[in-house]
């Protein structure tokens, strides 16, 4: 894979400015018109890096960037993919807000690629297009019974509790015992949201319908299962510590799951993050309930070395329209390399719901090649490739749709640096826009009846959600709970508020 070098612009303080090139005497040209499709962290990082790059700041040209988003609001994964009780992670919103609030990047929300605008539209109005559409679907779990009633995708559940505008308002929360399959951050988010008492979430931006659903949940036990051992987990210390912050929830671990091979020991010695997590879990195991006089009403079980075999209904069937009644696992053992092999021992757990949280998967985009196995747009260093493996002039990718849904949110910055570096290398050979007038794309959207939203509209919606939180806090003052905001969920309501002429 080829790469494009671009110095990390973040190392330059804003007040210091950026290095100036020797092209100041060149004849100024019209701005380079760039469309970015996807206004999550990856898209905003790409826009910010492009505006601050040495070539732009010290060069003989300017950039004009339009940031498109399928939702009426910006921030993508931060708004619709992070659990509401993660205020520190959601603090990234503050940084993204500062970028978009500068005024040099135009936000156009509620515009869906492939429906409202096609690839040829972008080519007509822009010199380059960067796709940063992320990954929002669940990766497949190929075990019998995954289609039974009560078997859910973790990503779908995340969309529900985060108030995604395009998912149903209700969620079936009728299970007392629940299995969550996966050992990453999303699996722990899903498990924590399922087992946590709803009143603890009132101080977050949780939508009212989500609070009511979780409030009425009869859950008593949530089991999280991973295929490998404690030293191979994919979650982070922050996610692990969050588990212990839930009130009236016991964390349950099992001594037989704490198996370590040579690779595990090496990982613990060489990686402080793994060492911290293993030590934390080992301490929980040793101290488990040692001082608890009254057991909690809910329990969160962490299981390791369990590989799912099948999900079955009350009659033991894995097919048909039955409801989940249990799940079978094969007991695994480490093979010395950190990987696992089956033992031939099988264990059944009675559960009434199963959530698969084994990863996200990207979705295909109209008129672009797609690697269905990896869930990405084929690319080389961010340059999108055609069916023959050649770069498509002027088309780029960044973020999870570029490299797959791995790593933390901040890792998308590295993707953006590489992609923007390639775009700037290609600048002089990009196919020019037929109509670079910034007003032309607005005229096209209005002609097609697209109810696009703007940055000013987002500020109105943002203020409205904050006002809802303030009104609730004042009305329920006796609870002592402060709600900073209440998220608006229906798309049509988000659009109405955003496009309102009222302040």
Q: How do residues 378-393 score in pLDDT, each as one tens digit?
A: 999 999 999 999 999 9
- 3-state DSSP assignment of residue 177: strand
Token pair of 201 as six digits: 């979430």
Angle 419-421-424 from CA coordinates, rounded to 5°: 110
Measure the CA–CA gap between 39 and 37, rounded to whole angstroms: 7
pLDDT band of residue 127 (cuts 50, 70, 90) is very high
> What number is the average pLDDT over the span 112-141?
96
- 3-state DSSP assignment of residue 331: strand
Lowest mean per-residue pLDDT among 51-65, 91-105, 192-206, 327-341: 51-65
Lowest mean per-residue pLDDT among 51-60, 210-219, 287-296: 287-296
Q: What structural domains and CATH numbers belong to the chain?
A: 9-136+362-452 (3.40.50.720), 137-360 (3.50.50.60), 457-499 (no CATH)
Q: Kindly tell me if the per-residue pLDDT of 22 is higher than 70.
A: no
Element spanning 384, H or E: strand 383-385
- 3-state DSSP assignment of residue 304: coil
Q: Kindly tell me if the per-residue pLDDT of 9 is higher than 60.
A: no
Lowest mean per-residue pLDDT among 53-62, 283-292, 316-325: 283-292
Angle 223-227-229 from CA coordinates, rounded to 5°: 95
Angle 322-326-331 from CA coordinates, rounded to 5°: 140
* Among 188, 196, 198, residue whose Cα is nearest residue 226: 188
Query: What phi and psi values does residue 383 have, to the nearest 5 degrees?
Result: -80, 120
For residue 331, what are the β-bridge partners?
Answer: 306
pTM of the model: 0.91
Residues in the chain: 503
> What number is the average pLDDT over the span 8-19?
35
Helix extents (H) in 60-153: 77-80, 87-90, 92-101, 119-125
Q: Kindly tell me if the per-residue pLDDT of 406 is higher than 90.
A: no
Helix and strand totals (H; E) in the chain? 17, 18
pLDDT at 419: 97
pLDDT band of residue 13 (cuts 50, 70, 90) is very low
The 8-class DSSP code of residue 371 comes to B
| Mean model confidence pLDDT for the chain | 91
């Amino acid at each position: 894979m080829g790469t494009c070098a671009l110095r990390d612009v973040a190392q330059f303080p804003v007040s210091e400015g950026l290095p100036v090139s020797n092209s100041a005497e060149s004849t100024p040209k019209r701005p380079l018109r760039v469309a970015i499709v996807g206004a999550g962290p990856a898209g905003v990082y790409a826009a910010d890096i492009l505006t601050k790059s040495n070539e732009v700041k010290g060069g003989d040209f300017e950039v004009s960037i339009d940031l498109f988003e399928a939702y009426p609001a910006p921030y993508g994964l931060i708004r619709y993919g992070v659990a509401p009780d993660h205020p520190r992670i959601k603090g990234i919103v503050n940084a993204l807000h500062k970028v978009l609030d500068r005024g040099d990047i135009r936000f156009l929300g509620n515009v869906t690629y492939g429906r409202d605008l096609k690839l040829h539209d972008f080519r007509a109005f822009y010199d380059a297009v960067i796709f940063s559409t992320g990954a929002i679907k669940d990766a497949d779990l190929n075990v019998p019974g995954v289609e039974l009633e009560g078997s859910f995708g973790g990503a779908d559940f995340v969309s529900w509790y985060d108030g995604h505008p395009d998912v149903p308002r209700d969620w079936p929360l009728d299970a007392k015992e629940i299995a969550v399959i996966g050992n990453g951050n999303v699996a722990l988010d899903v498990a924590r949201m399922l087992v946590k008492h709803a009143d603890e979430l009132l101080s977050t931006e949780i939508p009212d319908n989500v609070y009511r659903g979780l409030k009425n949940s009869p859950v008593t036990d949530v089991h999280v299962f991973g295929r490998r051992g404690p030293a191979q987990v994919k979650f982070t210390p922050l996610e692990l510590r969050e588990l212990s912050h839930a009130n009236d929830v016991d964390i349950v671990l099992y001594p037989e799951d704490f198996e370590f091979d040579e690779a595990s020991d090496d990982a613990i010695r060489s990686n402080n993050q793994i060492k911290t997590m293993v030590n934390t879990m080992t301490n929980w195991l040793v101290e488990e309930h040692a001082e608890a006089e009254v057991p909690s009403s809910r329990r969160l079980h962490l299981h390791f070395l369990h590989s799912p075999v099948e999900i079955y209904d009350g009659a033991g069937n894995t097919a048909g329209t039955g409801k989940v009644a249990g799940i079978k696992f094969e007991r695994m053992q480490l093979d010395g390399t950190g990987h696992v092999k089956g033992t031939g021992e099988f264990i059944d757990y009675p559960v009434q719901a199963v959530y698969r949280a084994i990863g996200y998967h990207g979705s295909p985009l109209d008129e672009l090649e797609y690697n269905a196995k990896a869930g990405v747009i084929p690319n080389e260093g961010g340059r999108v490739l055609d069916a023959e493996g050649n770069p498509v002039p002027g088309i780029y990718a960044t973020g999870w749709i570029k490299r797959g849904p791995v790593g933390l949110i901040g890792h998308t910055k590295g993707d953006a640096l590489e992609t923007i570096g390639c775009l700037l290398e290609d600048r002089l050979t990009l196919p020019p826009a037929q109509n670079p007038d910034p007003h032309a794309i607005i005229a096209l959207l209005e002609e097609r009846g697209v109810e696009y939203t703007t940055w000013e509209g987002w500020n109105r919606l943002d203020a409205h959600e904050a006002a809802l939180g303030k009104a609730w806090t004042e009305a329920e003052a006796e609870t002592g709970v402060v709600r900073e905001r209440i998220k608006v969920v229906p798309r049509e309501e988000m659009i109405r508020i955003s496009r309102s002429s009222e302040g």
